[in-house]
Amino acid sequence: MVPEPFFTIGIEEEYLIVDRETRNLIGHAPPSILAECEKKLKEQVSPEFLQCQIEVGTRVCKTIRDARENLAFLRNTVSEVIEQHGMAMIASSTHPFSMSVRQETTNKDRYSKLEEDLQQVARRLVICGMHVHIGIDDDDLRLDLMGQVSYALPHLLALSTSSPFWKGNDTGLKSYRIAVWDELPRTGLPEVFDSFAEYRRHVEVLINAGIIEDGTKIWWDIRPSDKFPTLEMRICDICTRLEDTICIAALYLCWLHKLYRLRRNNQRWRRYARMLIDENRWRAHRYGCDEGLIDFGRGEIVPYAELVEEMLELIAEDAEFLDCVAEVEHARNILRRGTSAHRQLRVYKEALSSGRSQQEALMDVVDMLIEDTKYGLDQF
């Protein structure tokens, strides 16, 4: 019998660094920023592909509350260091306008090889995301749950959207980040495998052919981590507010626990065809939570608020067991006030209607993101 998984949790977030005066992305990061962050945070902070980005990762946390406290500490620390350099940090998956400042890549072999391989596709990666790791130490169980939980990934993306703008334009998409990310190979929804061994055989084909060095170059929306015994969810935009990040992480944790509970009772969640889940992925990427997703059983589009209530009902027992009822129920608050994408568009349109120029309106959006990124952190 498969032992009870640990269901530990870890969260990674990627932030953008902006010039406080122009609100534009910086092109070159002073080395002292990363050095000071590393002095304070050790291995919990790292550079990203572009110098205007910085990444943090929580320690392995046993509870959602532990994850919240650690992530708040990381956000506070990185934000303070960046502000001491006359800059600011925003938790947004795209920058609202990002004028043509030359974006320097981080001097690291991995990133140099990435740019050489992907060329202009890599140079468009001025995007940020968040990744949630759930500790499941049994390899085959991890693959089995990956095949089932894919159904819920569009639901989680819809709650996280924070990238409606690209180079000063309202894209009409709530998560334009997905459009940029999907230009890369080995992205999107995962394949379905019957065992971990089968998954590894497929990865080894690419490694042996010299296409990738290891499984970290598999960039699916969800994947077995190549570094840790975790199932890593990668579909979401980064949430501007910490409380929204924690809500989505808790929903993902509870959904996986529910799937494990079903398996323990000799049941399972139905696996739906990738083409169907892809339709919901597109709807979440395009509309966020505004236009609903397809209920495959009913064969019709269902309002997203109704789907959230169904999800909360399905995982109620798991949220109680994992002591994160308030965190998952925060999804209702996100729906009431909107995601970061909604708030960005609201600020932009209100600024335009008040007579601000387009550039001034976009700068107002950056100001909102700077403040919202720190929202609630003073409690920690």
Pair of tokens at residue 298: 């009913």
Categorize the per-residue pLDDT at 316 as very low, low, confident or very high, splitting at 50, 70 and 90: very high
Go through the domains of the chain in sequence order and give each one's CATH number: 9-379 (3.30.590.20)
CB atoms within 10 A of CB 328: 27
SS3 256: helix
What pTM does this model have? 0.96
Mean residue pLDDT across the chain: 94
Residue pair 61/10 in contact by the 8 Å Cβ criterion: yes
Residue among 348, 332, 339, 351 at smallest CA distance from 174: 339
* Residue 253 burial (C-beta neighbours within 10 Å; 0-12, 13-18, 19+): buried
Categorize the per-residue pLDDT at 109 as very low, low, confident or very high, splitting at 50, 70 and 90: confident
Categorize the per-residue pLDDT at 125 as very low, low, confident or very high, splitting at 50, 70 and 90: confident
Q: Which region among 35-49, 110-124, 307-321 has the lowest average model confidence (pLDDT)?
A: 110-124
Q: How far apart are CA 334 and CA 234, in angstroms?
A: 20
Q: How far apart are CA 298 and CA 242, in angstroms?
A: 34
Alpha carbon 334 to its chain centroid, in Å, reads 16
Q: Which region among 1-15, 193-207, 234-248, 286-300 has the lowest average model confidence (pLDDT)?
A: 1-15
